[in-house]
């Protein structure tokens, strides 16, 4: 069975077509329309999707939503969705759908052990599931581009710098000083979070994902697994779980 997983995020919408656990096709756009979804679906020669799952942190196009709801066996991540993990969050009604999906994928990839998902997007989101499969929560901090914009917007003379990697730890211009501060600040932050979670469970598995993942992969002191689209993988896992119960 082919499934469609759709993750509508703050900046981009990502879409994955899965046959069981195998990713068949992937694309991302700023705004997903019904016409674009149909165009991409037609590329799956001989493989017609039968089910779809949606996670959105903002409003979904009404025409697209209606099509998904009436054309497939449709799941929308929310309060009534059943998950392979238990939710121990104290305010589940405020919990982002993307966080649940990322945590689900991380836990199942860990071999059902303690897992930490770190998603580097508009925000840097930390989601922890303990070894009993209970989602406990995590942390949210400003993402890479948000930090660069904040330095520009809340200072009189600092320029807005586009993100890029630098070779030196010490910034020797204003531009490289800003990049060093922001990039290395995030690296130290991520390593610090991993170290703290590891004090609670030394067997912790850590997964790094998100659009800005490449800026930090390979620069952390802690070992991590890089999963480019962990939210989509989690959505597919949630869909499969609901199909089987």
Closest of 201, 225, 200, 198 to residue 213, by C-alpha = 225
In whole angstroms, give the CA distance from residue 4 to residue 89.
Answer: 27
In whole angstroms, give the CA distance from residue 147 to residue 165.
Answer: 15
98 flagged as catalytic: yes
- Residues 106, 240 contacting (CB under 8 angstroms): no
Out of 98, 127, 191, 201, the active site residue is: 98
DSSP string, 94-142: G--HHHHHHHHHHHHHTTSS-EEEEEESSEEEEEEE-TTSEEEEEEEEE
The SS3 assignment for 240 reads: helix
What residues are annotated to the active site? Answer: 98
């Amino acid at each position: 069975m082919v499934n469609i997983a759709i993750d509508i995020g703050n900046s981009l919408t990502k879409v994955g077509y899965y046959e069981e656990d195998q990713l068949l096709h992937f694309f991302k756009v700023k705004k997903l329309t019904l016409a674009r979804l149909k165009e991409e679906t037609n590329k799956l020669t001989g493989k017609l999707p039968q089910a779809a799952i949606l996670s959105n942190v903002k409003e979904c196009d009404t025409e697209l939503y209606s099509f998904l709801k009436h054309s497939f066996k449709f799941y929308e991540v929310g309060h009534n969705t059943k998950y392979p993990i238990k939710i121990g969050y104290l305010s589940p009604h405020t919990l982002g759908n993307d966080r649940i999906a990322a945590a689900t994928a991380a836990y199942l990839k860990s071999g059902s052990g303690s897992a930490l998902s770190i998603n580097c997007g508009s925000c840097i989101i930390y989601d922890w599931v303990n070894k009993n499969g209970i989602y406990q929560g995590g942390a949210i901090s400003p993402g890479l581009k948000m930090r660069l914009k904040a330095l520009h917007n809340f200072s009189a003379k600092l320029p807005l710098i586009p993100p890029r990697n630098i070779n030196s730890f010490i910034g020797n211009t204003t531009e490289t000083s800003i990049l060093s501060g922001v990039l290395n600040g995030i690296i130290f932050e991520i390593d610090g979070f991993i170290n703290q979670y590891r004090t609670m469970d030394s067997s912790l598995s850590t997964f790094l994902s998100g659009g800005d993942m490449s800026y930090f992969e390979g620069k952390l002191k802690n070992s991590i697994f890089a999963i480019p689209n962990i939210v989509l993988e989690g959505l597919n896992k949630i869909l499969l779980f609901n199909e089987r119960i």
